Copies of this chain bind each other. A is one copy, B any other.
């Protein structure tokens, strides 16, 4: 089963997320101690809909630092190394990624770009290439092992693995960092693969935390216009700067 499809699982998230954000925000402007208010937030004595409304309005007004208190952890499989290299450029996040140094790539799972998959000739060429990778990876490991480089044979042979090679990653981001991730990566200018990942993550976020993520997504969705220059705009929203 070598061609892999994207799968995103939500492993864990901060419990009582809305109450926590509500409490954090209230602490800034409240004379009392939210440690005392906390049981009433959890019990619903302070109405949950009131809490959600409050958080929603706070988000809309751009005061988003309290949402940092809530984090989500995703397990992702079926992304290419090309994609994971983009993912880990987001620095306000924590990552644990499958190592190609330690894990042997016997099966060589891979990701095929949709534009290639759609064209039979391209698909055939791509698959033929993957076979060649498999053979080169196997040959090199064998040669290296036969020359005594046992434990590091994977580490060296991996240099032939393509950007298409599938990887798996566990990633944790707080909600402020997630919003920023969605702003950039749900944009139609983002590469299809990381956009698909961002869309899948956003869907999970919306299911679990609608008050926080209903308005999440590409920047244009919040701004009502496209912040890119006209040359790069996708046309979904008008740009602010007009084309010459």
A residues near B, CB below 8 A? 7, 9, 11-16, 20, 23-25, 27-31, 33-35, 38, 61-62, 65-66, 68-69, 71, 73, 75, 77, 80-82, 84-85, 88-89, 91-92, 94-104, 111-113, 115-116, 119, 121-122, 125-126, 128-129, 132-133, 136, 139-140, 143-144, 147, 149, 152, 155-156, 158-165, 168-170, 172, 174, 191, 227-229
Contacts and interface: CB of A to CB of B under 8 A. Distances in A.
B113 A159 contact: yes
Given A82-B159, A143-B119, A11 B20 contact: yes
Contacts of A27: 75, 96-98, 168-170
Most buried by B among A96, A101, A103: A96
Nearest to A165: B163
A56 to B, nearest CB: 13
Contact of A75 (B33, B104, B152): B33
A132 B88 CA distance: 29
